[in-house]
Structure 1
Amino acid sequence: MTDIQPPYGDLVLPCLDEADALPWVLARIPEGWRPLVVDNGSTDGSADIARAHGATVVHEPRRGFGAACHAGLEAATAELVAFCDCDASLDPGELPRVAAPVRDGAADLVLARRRPVTRGAWPLHARAGNRALSRMVLGRTGVRLHDLGPMRVARRRPLLDLALTDRRSGYPLQTVVRAADAGWRIQETEVPYLPRTGVSKVTGTWRGTFQAVRDMRAVLR
C-alpha cells in the first residue's frame, strides 16, 4: 500500500458555462481533494462562482474538452489527479472509492463506469456512441471497457509522461490508449450517473455525439 497523506489529490473540473451546477459539485468535494475548475471561456460567471465556493480557477482560452483537461493536469501539484465532469451528472463524493486502487498501488488508472439512475440520465445516442468507442478500444488495445469513464484517477507524473496531444473530445480516449500502450494496469469501477444540469456541449444531441466519436476515432488511427 502506498502511503499518501492529505491532501490526497487534485480534482480537475473542466468548465464551460456550468454556473447552475457548480455549487452542488463543489459542495460534494471530499476532504483532502483540491478542486481545480478549468474555465474554458464561460460567459455565465462560472469562474466567480467557483472562487466563491473555494475552488482554484485555471483559465484555458483554447476551446476544447481536452484543452481544459490538460490545463488542469498541468496546474495540478498533488501526486494523485482526478478528472470529473462539472455538470452535476457525477457525484464527487464517490472519488475516494474510485481513487482507492491507484492510491493503494493496485492500479495505475481507474475509470468510473456510469450507471444511470434514471432513464433520461444517459440518452440513447450517447450510449450508442460509447458502445462503439468501447469496441474500438478493445480492438486497438485489447483492454475491455464498458465506458471511457468521465471520472477517472491516475498519478500526475505518469499522466504527464503520456504526452497527450488531443485537445478536443478525444482526450479521454487518448489517455486510455496511451496508458494501455505503456502497460498500465487499468481498472473500472461503477458510479451513479445523474441527469446533468443544463445542456450538454458534447453528447446532448446526435450531432454532438457524432462529432465526439469522430474526434475519438482520429485518436485510434
Structure 2
Amino acid sequence: MQTLSIVIPALDEALNLPPLMKAIPVAELRSAGWESEVVVVDNASTDGTGDVARSLGARVVLQPKRGYGNAYRAGLAAASGDVIATGDADLTYPFDALPQLLRTFTMNNIEFMTTNRLLPRNRAAMKPSHAVANRALSRLSRSLFHNSVRDSQSGMWVFRDYVWRGLDVRSTGMAFSQEIKNSATMAGYRCLEVPIDYRVRAGEVKLNALPDGVANVLQLFEHRFRRTPQMPVVPSVGRHCSPDVVAASPAEELTRA
C-alpha cells in the first residue's frame, strides 16, 4: 500500500472544510492502493478552522506565522506520505480528481507534477484580471527559467516526498507556488503539467492582487539569479523511480531548454 499525504493550507476556511473533506475520495484512493492522510495547516485562523478540520478527521498543524509559503513549510514538514498532494481550502481545486491524477503520476513515473488551470473551460472560475496576471507571470517565469510551465501560479501539485528535501524554496508568501515549480525543473526532477478543472472560489478572497503580483515578479528575478546551486535529492531504495518517462497526452513534460 502506497501512502499519500494531502496537505491543505487554510486561513479562516471553517465553512469550506466540510464540503472539501467530503470531496476527497478516501475510499476510492484506498481501492487504488493509496492509504491517505489529510494535513490541514491552520495558518492563524480566527474562525475555528483547526477545530473544524480536526472534527472532520484531518490532522491539524498550527502555523502562527501567516503566509502561504509559511503554511506549506509547516504542512510539508509534518506530512508522512511517500507522495504528497496539495491544494487550497477554498473549493477551487478538484480533490475528487486525485485518483486520476495519481494514475497519471505513477504511469508516467513522474517525480513532480503540477497542474494547469488556465484553460478555456475554466474561464468563468477566475476573474479576468486575475487570469491576465496569471498568464503574464507564467510567461515571465517560462522566459526566465526555460521550462514549459503554462500555469506558474497553480496551487495543486503531486510530488514524491524526497523532492521537497531536494529543493531550495525560500518564499514565505504566494510566490511559494511558482518557486516550487521552478526549483523542481531546475533540479532536474522528472516533471509534468496536466490540465485540471478549476472552480469558483467559496468564501472570502485572500489574494492581495497588486502587492502579491509585485512580490512574485521580484521573486522570479531573485530566484533566477540566485547563486546557490540546485541539487536534487536521490530517492532511497524502494521509491519506485526509474530514469524512463513516458509522456502522456494531454500532459506536458516540463523539460528545461
Does the pair score TM above 0.5? yes
Name the residue aligned to 2:99.
Answer: 96
Superposition RMSD on alpha carbons, in Å?
1.7
Unaligned runs of 5+ in 1: 203-207
Structure 1 residues 130 and 118, CA, compared in 2 at 3 Å: closer, same or farther? Answer: closer
Identify if the C-alpha distance between structure 1 residues 174 and 116 changes in structure 2 by more than 3 Å, giving closer, same or farther: same
How big is the shift at 1:158?
1.5
Note the C-alpha offset of 1:180: 1.4
TM-score norm. by structure 1 comes to 0.89
Q: Is 1:220–2:223 an aligned residue pair?
A: no
Residue 186 of structure 2 is aligned to residue 191 of structure 1: no
Q: What is the distance in 1 between the residues matched to 2:63 and 2:203?
A: 21
Identify the residue that residue 9 of structure 2 maps to in structure 1: 14
Alignment map for 1:28-107 (pairs within 5 Å): 28-31=23-26, 32-104=35-107, 106-107=109-110
Question: How far did residue 30 of structure 1 move?
Answer: 2.5
TM (normalized to structure 2)? 0.77
| C-alpha distance in structure 2 between counterparts of 1:216 and 1:184, whole Å | 23
**Residue type of the alignment partner of 2:43:** N
What per-residue deviation string (whole Å, max 9, x for no partner) do you get for residues 93-135 of structure 1? 1112223343345322111212476654200111111101111
- Checking the alignment, whether the CA contact within 8 Å between 1:134 and 1:144 is kept in structure 2 is no
- Name the count of aligned residue pairs: 211
User: Would the aligned equivalents of 1:35 and 1:55 in 2 still touch at CA under 8 Å?
Assistant: yes
| 1:150-183 Cα distance to aligned partner (Å, 9 max, x none) | 1111111111220321111110111111111111
- Structure 2 counterpart of 1:136: 140
User: Structure 1 stretch 117-126 or stretch 91-100: which is displaced more?
Assistant: 117-126
Match in the other structure for 1:123: 127
Q: Secondary structure at the match of 2:72?
A: helix
**2: distance between equivalents of 1:154 and 1:118?**
24
**1:220 & 1:135 partners in 2: Cα distance?**
11
- Label 1:169 to 1:97 Cα distance change in 2 as closer, same or farther (>3 A): same
Q: Is the 8 A contact 1:118 1:195 kept in 2?
A: no
**Within 1, Cα distance between the matches of 2:66 and 2:123?**
31
For the Cα contact (< 8 Å) 1:90–1:194, is it kept in 2? yes
- Amino acid corresponding to residue 132 of structure 1 in structure 2: A
Whether the 8 Å contact between 1:180 and 1:186 is mirrored in structure 2 is yes
Distance 1:15 1:220 in 2: 25
Correspondence for 1:171 among 160, 173, 176:
176
Whichever of the two has the greater Rg, that structure is 2
Percent identity between the aligned chains? 31
DSSP 3-state at the match of 1:13: strand
| Counterpart-to-counterpart distance in 2, 1:25 and 1:59 | 19
Distance in 2 between residues matched to 1:218 and 1:99, nearest whole Å: 33
- Give the drift of 1:145: 2.3
Contact 1:82–1:154 (Cα < 8 Å) also in 2? yes
* Structure 2 residue runs without a partner (length 5+): 27-34, 222-257
